[in-house]
Structure 1
Amino acid sequence: MKKILLSAFAMLLAVTANAQNLTVEKLQSPLGVQTEAFGAHKAPAKANLAVNQRLVGYFNTDDCDTYLGVTSITGNNKVAMELTADDLAPYYGKKIVGVRFNLGQGETSTGVFVENVKINNGTITENTAIVTSDKSVTSAAGAKNTGEWHEVMFDNKVEINSSFEALLVGYCYKQKSNNYPIGVSSKVEGPFYVFANIPASKGGNGENWYQINSGGYGLSIQLIVEGDFAPNAVQPLDFGDVMVTKGKTKNVAVSLFNLGSKLSSIDYTIALDGKAGTEQHLDFGKDYGVGGTHTVEIPFAADSKIGKSTVTLTVTKVNGVENANATKTATGTLYTVEREFVKRSVVEQFTGTGCGNCPSGHVSMHNMHNLYGDQFIGIALHQFNSNDPMYYASYDLGFTGAPQCMVNRSSGVLAPYEQMPEALKASLKEIAMTEVTVAGTFTDEDTKVNATASVESLAAGDYNIAFMLTADGLTGTTTSWKQHNYFCKGGGRYSSKASMPDDLKFLWDKGSSYVETYNDVLIASSYVSNKNKATLPTLVANGTVSSEYTLKMPTKVILKKALKLDQVYVVAVLLDKKTGAIVNAGRARVTGSTGIEDVTTGTEATVVARYTVNGVQVSAPVKGVNILKMSDGTTRKVLVK
């Protein structure tokens, strides 16, 4: 049976967006995403595993935060993940005993299965059923974008061996044009297979297995295996780049894959360029129990010299006894630097005055500014309705509904209120290998802005740069300025004010449209008809390069009247040439207007120090109340959830 890569077919299928639809667009995935239920409780169910059982999948945790439907391919379908020979190798000799999966609210699965498959250049050349069960399970009805974990055990146990080139593990379900049964996690990504009857008229070849674009998600499906596992066995996972200031130590998040039945402490060594340090002990203060992947913080000291080093972490002991796992090491790259670069992340949000769901996106952007200060850069793309006074269409990121957003153009499409905050938080933990500094000056009687950016880098490389102008404080009283609002009483999003999240409750009394003050609004950019005109020299290792670009201020009368020139900002984003992802960015207030008097030194207030309520200085947001010391001498209190 053949596995078809749905590149051509999927271009004919439309996504059911997690947003208010604007138009039907051609996308590279037929997956529909279920609309979020604001404040929906999605508590994970702990796996009911015996001491001698483990979970094998794209992840072995309880993650499931989104529900999908292949709404263009209706019928009695199957969905499956792929486990390669490399995935299976640590479990040779163990037995397949069941399947665990997350199924959307109110949905029924009519069975689970495991198939042995051979894949050659993207084609499934053979597939054989290994073990199946026709047991039906149903998730309880509940709020949208919720579901339940189910465990279905097989009557027969099958031993995993080296003859398995790959396994498809999945479940059967009923796909309709408007349901979303498939539980997935946005934290991982993996191959996504659907068995369905797709006629030739729709680009398929009948009843067959099809691999579809995962849309950046990983299926919440796990194989349950059983066998004799060493009680003290841990495999550390590679941890990527680490940046530490010379003479200092930094706690680094490292994931530990626990193959044992207990995990309360480890002993380890850290080697730089092959030279190992002394063995260290780390007590977790609790027992993580059977299996799972757990993230812990391990202190890494800087090298004695500035530069790049290969760093190897070896877990020598688990729970005080020798680590029984065959793979005991994980690697990364340590950069010892004179100073750490500041990581900033960019959220580009598709919005508009005519979008009744968009007020929640405005709230989310406001929350991120308060939480992360100048490490957060928001860009509001008012592209939903063309009669929006702030309408701007010179570049298009492919959004199909509002509100939608992307973090650093690498997160996939996200719901701004529900999904973006976690993606932003994760992005700010990434190591910054570059730093972007930007400045802007008004010229030609405030009709243009001369933007300059300097990029300092630890390594050489080819990147692109793009410039934008954003504006805060935009508002007006005419009808076109009013924000549509589905969060009001009678608007349909909530049945009562009491059921709303606290930060959205003010919208209940605003009416179906209200006068809003808009921030982070994109008003100009270096994009012309979707093509970026700004250029950047090749980055040099441990050096700085510069770029300049002249941006034209808006000429639309209604927008010009609303602009406050002391609230115009220039943004520069550094883009990976291969992936198009934003790797870092900078933002600063534009100065030098002939029509206003500068009231600051030319930059907005930024976070210079962060403390807990107990007065302990921390380098990143921590749960609870955070006290921020700003560059203008003020302090702020923010609540980190």
Structure 2
Amino acid sequence: MLGRADVAAQIYWGYSDNIILNGIGIGQNTTVSGAIYIPSEVAELYKGKKATAVRVGLYNSVSELKVFITEDLDGTPETEKTFGSQKTGVASFSFDDAYVISGKGFYVGYSCVGINPIGRSSIYNVNGCWVKDGDNAWIDYAGNEEYKYNALNIAVRIEGEDLPEDARLIVNNETLVKPGEGFKLTAKLENLSTKAIKGYKVEYNIDNGETQTIEKTTYLTGGSSTSFSIDVPAINEFGMHTVNMKLVSVNGIEDANPVNNDVVAYIKVTENSFVRRMVVEEGTGTWCGWCPKGIVAFEYMDEKYPDTFIGIAAHDRDVFSEDTYAPIQNYFDSYPNCIINRDPQKVCSPLSGNLESEYKNLVRDQAVASMVTSANLEDNVVHAKVTATFANPGKDLDYRIAFVILEDSITGVTQANAYAGGANGEMGGFENLPNPAPIKFNHVARGIFDYNGIENSMPSEVEVGEFYDFTKDIELPRVQSTKYLSIVALLINGKTGIIDNAAKAHIETGATDIRNNEITNVSIYVTPEGTICCSEEGKLEVFNLQGIQVSGHNLTHGVYIVKHTSESGQTTMRKIRF
């Protein structure tokens, strides 16, 4: 057994902080593995010391958790241990047989079964994110320029005598600011040694400009961290900027490990403020007596937040079930249940209070893009189109579009009703209905195309102010009536699986093909009084940069997206600045 002195001689070495920002997986309850790489220049510092445990951050509850250390991801582990089922959060797991660090580079990681379970932080490091997915292949998601994922929440516990003195800087990978506004950039210094830090010096520059110095006195014990801030003056130039930081010295001498002394914080300057819509995908069934609570909550949110709430009822094991939406049920262990913007940390019971509380938090966030969608039905084919305008320029992106067809006002089917006669209290009027209850069903998902989003439906590189269109022809699924159909366009982040924004529109009927129908010579302009006009007859729809439709008269100054639909059904999109 380790004595008290031995327990103190230990540190955790990794790239992330203990904050779990999001999860990695394939959106299904399956086996997935994650690892970080400790390069040889670090391993040499700890040569002869023992790696005794792995600290992991789980984004979701998992089963079959196994931690390991290996010098070859495709080879036999140097040491490993299985721990079974574990809950969401950060915890350490000790090996029975410690790995003695040889000085060679090695990997530290874990495997488990879960839905997007591998926790990821907001800190970037090129060695911080190896993932083994459903194809049983390890992918370097940090070093690959196509992805550049942030570091996984993994750290190795190293024990031994005379551990080297080491410290590292930590800073969030990206900050969003408006032009002309100065702000404070917060960073952290973490002590990775057993000796206390009493002072440190940091140098930094903005966009490779003049170097400035920060010197601080502190008392920082081993394994702890302290925060400091940098005053960043107002930046007026739109786009991406950098704050480069370097840890120069600790306790008056150069830090022993230069590998983790340099960090870069990326600053995005943008004037756009796109509202993020809330998408709630609910697992429900007509056989479920408690599912009226979701029906009531959706109607409440629809009425109160018609422009920014999108409810999708994905039925299971009833007449409305659709195979294309079956994967969503993996998030739920009971009914009714729902997931918000497909964020695995936001699975909850679909009560009005729950949804409204989550809504108020979510809409504070700026969306990555505004979206406008439209669709028409012709000869049992839905011609769907979405136009996205991104708030910031970006490279190496993986945004994907998925279309959902919804139907409202479906009759002839009854809903099991546990609230009949007030047996279980009030539930939006269901207490006054029999069991089962004859109702009109709304928000019913008639299919999703495709569940994980269509690859390459959005470009990997985008610019501010550009329109990015995607169209898809969808064979009309089984519906009761074509009168009450809607199209929902989901913008799914292929790197996280999260829905970053969405748009919804009624599906029009008629002989209109929106795939290649823009009129190139149409003139759309705004009068000095703030009225949108068009050189062609037809329907004009005006959207602000939040993607919300507004009046085309008496506009306030700003930027608008204008959609013109001609009498023959052709559509044209223009950006107008007033």
TM-score (norm 2): 0.52
Q: Counterpart amino acid of 2:43?
A: A
After TM superposition, the structure 1 = structure 2 runs for residues 162-311 of structure 1, keeping only pairs within 5 Å, are 162=103, 164-166=104-106, 186-187=119-120, 222-228=156-162, 234-237=167-170, 239-250=172-183, 254=187, 256-260=189-193, 268-276=202-210, 278-280=212-214, 289-291=221-223, 300-311=232-243
Contact 1:574 1:585 in 2 (8 A): yes
In the aligned structure 1, how far is the partner of 2:442 from the partner of 2:362? Answer: 22
Q: What's the counterpart of residue 416 of structure 1?
A: 347
**2:7 is the counterpart of 1:55:** no
Q: How does 1:539-618 map to 2 (within 5 A)?
A: 541-547=463-469, 549=471, 558=480, 563=484, 570-573=488-491, 584-587=500-503, 590=506
Asked whether the equivalents of residues 206 and 244 of structure 2 are also in contact (C-alpha less than 8 Å), the reply is yes
Aligned with residue 453 of structure 1, among 384, 387, 390: 387
Post-superposition shift, 1:453? 1.9
Q: CA deviation digits over 1:391-445, x for unaligned, max 9?
A: 445x457456362888877x7x777239x9999999999996x52331548889x
Q: Does 1:330 align with 2:287?
A: no
Equivalences for residues 58-137 of structure 1 within 5 A: 61=18, 84-86=38-40, 88-89=42-43, 91-93=45-47, 95-96=49-50, 98-99=52-53, 118-119=71-72, 122-124=74-76
CA contact (8 A) 1:85 1:165 kept: yes
Q: Letter of the aligned partner of 1:547 in structure 2?
A: D
Q: Once the 2 structures are TM-superposed, how far is the Cα of residue 541 of structure 1 from its aligned partner?
A: 3.1
> For residues 353 and 454 of structure 1, do their structure 2 counterparts lie closer, same or farther at Cα, with a shift above 3 Å needed?
same
Which residue identity lines up with residue 75 of structure 2 in the other structure? Answer: T
Q: Distance in 2 between matches of 1:581 and 1:147?
A: 19
Q: Once the 2 structures are TM-superposed, how far is the Cα of residue 56 of structure 1 from its aligned partner? A: 3.6
Q: Judging changes above 3 Å, is the alpha-carbon distance between structure 1 residues 584 and 103 closer, same or farther for their aligned structure 2 residues?
A: closer
Shift of 1:476: 6.2
Judged with a 3 Å threshold, the aligned counterparts in structure 2 of structure 1 residues 354 and 169 are, in CA distance, closer, same or farther, namely same
Name the CA shift for 1:93/1:123 in 2 (closer, same or farther; >3 Å). Answer: closer
Deviations 1:191-217 (A, max 9, x none): 799xxxxxxxxxxxxxxxx99999x99
SS of match in other structure, 1:123: coil
Q: 1:383 to 1:266 in 2, by over 3 A?
A: farther
Instruction: Show CA shifts across 1:501-528 (max 9, x none).
Output: xxx9x99999998789977654566x38
Name the counterpart of 1:628.
none
Q: CA offset at residue 54 of structure 1?
A: 0.8
CA distance in 1, matches of 2:432, 2:48: 60
Task: Mark the CA change 1:534 to 1:387 in structure 2 (over 3 Å): closer, same or farther.
Answer: farther
Q: Distance in 2 between matches of 1:425 and 1:263?
A: 42
Are the counterparts in 1 of residues 405 and 487 from structure 2 also a CA contact under 8 Å?
yes
What letter corresponds to residue 258 of structure 1 in structure 2?
Answer: N
- Contact kept? 1:342, 1:435, Cα under 8 Å: yes
Cα drift, residue 271 of structure 1: 1.6
The 3 A distance-change label for structure 1 pair 102 and 536 is: closer
- How far 1:274 sits from its partner (Å)? 1.8
Structure 2 gaps of 5+ residues are: 24-28, 59-63, 122-127, 141-148, 511-540, 549-578
Alpha-carbon deviation of 1:311? 2.9
Aligned equivalents of 1:574, 1:529: Cα separation in 2: 10
Relative to 1, partners in 2 of residues 1:213 and 1:252: Cα closer, same or farther, differing over 3 Å?
same
Distance 1:211 1:585, change over 3 A: closer
C-alpha distance in 2, partners of 1:534/1:158?
43
Structure 2 residue aligned with 1:621: none
Distance across 1 between alignment mates of 2:262 and 2:499: 28
Equivalence for 2:519 = none
Q: Deviations over 1:152-207 (max 9, x none)?
A: 698x9986442x44367899xxx9xxxx99xx7634697799xxxxxxxxxxxxxx
Are the equivalent residues in 2 in contact too, given 1:348–1:406 (CA < 8 A)? yes
Distance 1:190-1:544 versus aligned 2 partners, 3 A rule: closer
* Offset of residue 244 of structure 1: 2.6
User: Displacement, 1:353?
Assistant: 0.9
Q: Which runs of 5+ in 1 are unaligned?
A: 1-46, 74-78, 194-209, 491-496, 498-503, 595-599, 608-641
Distance change (3 Å), C-alpha of 1:522 and 1:309: same
In the TM superposition, residue 225 of structure 1 has moved relative to its aligned partner by 1.9
Deviation at 1:356, TM superposition (A): 5.3
Q: Tell me the residue number matched to 1:312.
A: 244
Question: CA offsets, 1:244-284, max 9 Å, x none?
Answer: 32211345565654325667997644423321453357899
Contact residue 97 and residue 224 of structure 1 kept, 8 A: yes
Inter-CA distance 352–440: structure 2 relative to 1 (3 Å threshold):
same
Indicate the SS of the match to 2:347.
coil
Distance between the aligned counterparts of 2:152 and 2:310, measured in 1?
Answer: 27
CA distance in 2, matches of 1:554, 1:292: 58
What code does the residue aligned with 1:403 have?
Answer: F
What amino acid does structure 1 have at the position aligned with 2:501? A
Q: TM-score under structure 1 normalisation? A: 0.48
Aligned partner of 2:330 in structure 1 is: 401
* Cα 1:157–1:555 shift into 2, 3 Å: closer
Contact 1:461 1:540 survives alignment (8 Å)? no
On the 8 A contact 1:364/1:417 being kept in 2, the answer is: no
Change (3 A) 1:383 1:606: same
Preserved contact between residue 54 and residue 94 of structure 2 (Cα < 8 Å): yes
The whole-number CA distance in structure 2 between the counterparts of 1:91 and 1:324 is 12
Q: Is the 8 A contact 2:407 2:446 kept in 1?
A: no
Match of 2:573 in 1: none
Percent identity over the alignment is: 10
